[in-house]
Amino acid sequence: MRNAECARAAAARWEITTPSRPGRLPGIGMAGFRDRRTDLVDLQVVPYPAVTVVVDFGDGLLVDDVSRRQQRGSAVLGLAPGSVRVHGRDIECLQIRLSPVVAHAVLGASLEAGGTVVALDDLWGRDARRTQEQLRAAASWEDRFAIAEAALARRNQTGRAVDPEVGYAWRQMVIRRGQVRVEPLATEIGWSRKRLWTRFRSQIGLTPKRAAQLVRFDHAAHRLAAGHSAALVAAESGYVDQSHLHRDVMAFTGVTPTAVGAAPWLAVDDVAWAASEHPSET
């Protein structure tokens, strides 16, 4: 089955709802998902250059295949979350994507890469439980979006922002689709390479080099999902050659570029996030 056919089949499974108006907070995207079918869902999460918050209203389960941790209810996935799967039946959930620059203030912590699945309660405490109760009692998806946005706005106002230099470095990575080198970027900012490396990792959750690789991978993955050949994607995404692309895709997902191009997780992106600001850009 070709990528386009895989995408249609995957998208048809989900009833996807998006906010009717643009959000007030930059760097945040939201979408509601409801499973139209009753058979078991078991799909791999493809790494994305944003921190993802999932609030489950159904019978879903996030499984971290690295740590073997299982998380129900509300969970937070860090950048490049390793081998994480969505597993369950009758799934209904709110998914929120946060730019890592925004996530630092909103969540109160950076999340390290490598199979990270953290309960929202562990980061927000009682505020998380109150917000989840309000979300579950809401009468519509629009009400859920409004409740979530209000909670995020409160946390953003009281949270600690990243250094302006770190925010600038992240935006340059996104603008240049990951095709940046750390030393020239540090010089551009006016910092030493060591200082940028240390501050960026402590506030974003990845080293600058790994973050740039993730942004480049994300661009390549979406080009593969659009049906472009691995050779063309490698050439236009800044990889040395097709083998370099293959190694990078395997490192982030554990599967081949062909398998990533047909991934159901990517297939719904154009529907779920097309109308919202790209959350990684801020």
pLDDT digits (tens, 9 = 90+) for 43-82: 888 889 999 999 988 877 777 766 667 777 888 888 876 6
CATH of the domain at 115: 2.60.120.10
* 282 vs 214: which has the higher pLDDT: 214
Query: Which pLDDT does position 1 carry in this prediction?
Result: 46
Q: Which residues pair with 74 in a beta bridge?
A: 55
Closest to 43 in 3D by CA, of 4, 80, 13, 68: 13
Residue 182: both structure tokens together: 């750390």
Q: Which domain holds residue 197?
A: 164-261
User: Are residues 168 and 199 located together in one domain of the fold?
Assistant: yes
| Confidence category of residue 178, pLDDT binned at 50, 70, 90 | very high
Is residue 57, in this structure, part of any structural domain at all? Answer: yes
pLDDT digits (tens, 9 = 90+) for 216-264: 999 999 999 988 999 999 999 999 999 999 999 999 988 899 999 888 8
Number of domains, the chain: 2
User: Exposure pattern of 170-191 as b/e (b: 16+ CB <10 Å)?
Assistant: bebbbeebbebebeebbeebeb
Is residue 65, in this structure, part of any structural domain at all? Answer: yes
User: Are residues 26 and 150 located together in one domain of the fold?
Assistant: yes
User: Are residues 240 and 129 located together in one domain of the fold?
Assistant: no
| Confidence category of residue 6, pLDDT binned at 50, 70, 90 | low
CATH of the domain at 235: 1.10.10.60
User: Are residues 65 and 100 located together in one domain of the fold?
Assistant: yes
* 157 vs 115: which has the higher pLDDT: 157
Is residue 240, in this structure, part of any structural domain at all? Answer: yes
User: Are residues 82 and 121 located together in one domain of the fold?
Assistant: yes
User: Are residues 141 and 210 located together in one domain of the fold?
Assistant: no
Average pLDDT over residues 171-182: 96
